[in-house]
């Protein structure tokens, strides 16, 4: 994964995840920084709404299910 901004482009590596209260907390390395990202319930609803968009679902399905053309 990567984060791109006008200032820089940084690689993001998720190193762990846990549940703290009602939040999902991700441990990550972003460039030279070690960070914790807290995803709260309202954030989860937002991310789920993005994941269920037709174009995103199609991309996920293409990556999960190898579509191969049948020999004719």
pLDDT tens-digit series, residues 20-65: 999 999 999 998 899 999 999 999 889 889 988 999 998 888 888 8
Check residue 37 and give left, alpha or beta (phi > 0: left; psi -120 to 50: alpha): beta
The reply to whether the predicted model has a pTM over 0.75 is no
**What pLDDT, on the 0 to 100 scale, is given for residue 26?**
96
Cβ neighbors of 12 (< 8 A, separation 6 or more) are 1, 2, 3, 28, 29, 30
What is the band of 70 on the pLDDT scale with cuts at 50, 70, 90? Answer: low
What is the band of 67 on the pLDDT scale with cuts at 50, 70, 90? Answer: low
Residue 46 has a CB neighbour count (10 Å cut-off) of 12
């Amino acid at each position: 994964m990567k984060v791109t901004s006008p200032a820089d482009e940084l690689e993001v590596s998720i190193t762990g995840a846990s549940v703290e209260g009602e939040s999902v907390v991700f441990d990550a390395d972003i460039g030279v920084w070690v960070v914790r990202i807290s995803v709260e319930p309202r954030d989860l609803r937002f991310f789920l709404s993005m994941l269920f968009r037709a174009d995103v679902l199609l991309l996920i399905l293409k990556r999960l299910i190898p579509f191969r053309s049948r020999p004719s």
